[in-house]
Structure 1
Amino acid sequence: MSHGQFLPPDHSAGDERTVGGYAAVHARPAALEGRDGMSYSLDVLSDATGDAARPYGAFLLFVQWSRVGAQKAEGHLETEFVAWGCSAADAERALGAMPLTEAQRLLDALIVARDGATTRRWWDVMREEDGA
């Protein structure tokens, strides 16, 4: 059995209210609760855009975690490019400055696009299916 390692936050490493700052302060990606009640962790990724004016773009990858049983990834959502730069590092740094509140808004918008505008959480659906 593997145990987690507690690392105290290093508040001198950045602003924990931003995507990149949170990762720097806590030495792990931020975790958010989606409007569907599921847990998501987020990561900043980048790729070439094919656009000479903005050669690299960065986007958020939200990993959805299982709600019961063994902790495992169940799916993912990803944004379009939301930051750009002359290099992958520049684009990722620009996206890292995004406030976590904006990352939450983007996650919730992706969930709505996937599931529709329902506000029912997974546990409400289970309750209805069980006849409760």
Structure 2
Amino acid sequence: MNYQLNFAAVWRDFDTLLAGLGLGLELALVSIAIGCVIGLMMAFALLSKHRALRVLASVYVTVIRNTPILVLILLIYFAMPSLGIRLDKIPSFIVTLSLYAGAYLTEVFRAGLLSIPKGQRE
């Protein structure tokens, strides 16, 4: 087989590809920043003395981490308008990625907080 790769389409639309890369990086950075805030708050809730906060944070982490991200994207983009909350494409994607990152970062922050001795944590 003598197959030749044809990069003409790539070079022709290279500026569009770079714009898409920039948008993807922007969405990721914004979502991770918001997810860090969510994750830190939920990690403190998981370590709280209040049972209601622990249960709420535990349910959030369990539900979000066990739901595929594509299902979350579809729920937020298509199901939220039926509840009266209408989001455009980019904000709905940022909300979804932030919730998803927040659930995973909750466990990261919780493990980090548990590794600190109790006296220093207080």
Bucket of the pairwise TM-score, normalised by the shorter protein: under 0.3
Larger Cα-atom Rg: 2
Give the alignment's TM-score, normalised by structure 1. 0.26
Give the alignment's TM-score, normalised by structure 2. 0.27
Higher strand share: 1
Higher helix share: 2
